Amino acid sequence: MSKLTKNQKLVAGKIEAGKAYSLAEACALVKEITTTKFDASLDIDVRLGVDPRKANQMVRGVVALPHGTGKSVRVLCLCTPDQEAAAKEAGADYVGLDEYIDKIKGGWTDIDVIITMPAIMGKIGALGRVLGPRGLMPNPKSGTVTNDIVAKAIREVKSGKIDFKVDKAGIVHASIGKVSFDTEKMAGNAREFVNAIIKLKPAAAKGTYIKSIYLSSTMSKGVKVDPKAIEEAAK
């Protein structure tokens, strides 16, 4: 058995095995056990009582985190010329159409989000092979394909709107901030994220819906959160 490092021993002593912490306690603990020299991401894993293989139990949505993600989000806006000025003003990092479609076909994916319009999706469909595996394909459900003013969608993404989807194992995973946030902001983002999942509970889901919640940072152990505390607050 490999020896624990000094930091791992410290962490192991701080987390009580099997204990489910309140949200405030969990946030404080994640801050305490994160020993990275960089500003680590705050990650959340929510295990749901759903069968994602069944279409009527798919959980997918978007949430605007009240305190943002703490990350700079690189946005590409693929739009018609009449929307370009508004997209640039809203803060899109890259704005255009055909030249970026050609770049992506060539393998360029140096972006975090693509926002576009329904009229252009025909051109983007051919990029699925490149964008799909990287989670970059625009989708109306996540608000990245919009009939509304494209600028509004760009501002929302830049200010902390994220999309999420349950994976094959029934877990929703997301980065919801930075460990440098104060504990109130960490808890506020976590609460908003879990509440968004609760609102999307499929009618076909039976039994316990929120099975477990874990908070962690980029390199830390997970801290178990008591789901009841968040569910009660959501009522």
The fold adopted by the segment(s) 75-159 is Rossmann fold (3.40.50)
pLDDT at 126: 87
pLDDT at 85: 93
What does CATH list as the number for 19-69+161-234? 3.30.190.20
Would you say residue 222 has pLDDT above 70? yes
pLDDT at 147: 78
| Coil/strand/helix, residue 5 | coil
pLDDT at 141: 80
Would you say residue 132 has pLDDT above 80? yes
Poorest-pLDDT segment among 74-88, 115-129, 221-235:
221-235
Residue boundaries of the structural domains of the chain: 19-69+161-234, 75-159
What are the pLDDT digits (tens) for 64-109?
Answer: 999 999 988 999 999 999 999 999 999 999 999 999 999 999 999 9
Cβ-Cβ contacts under 8 Å for 40 (sequence gap 6 or more): 34, 178, 179, 217, 218, 219, 220
pLDDT at 7: 58
Closest by Cα among 29, 3, 36, 35 to 14: 29
| Coil/strand/helix, residue 47 | strand
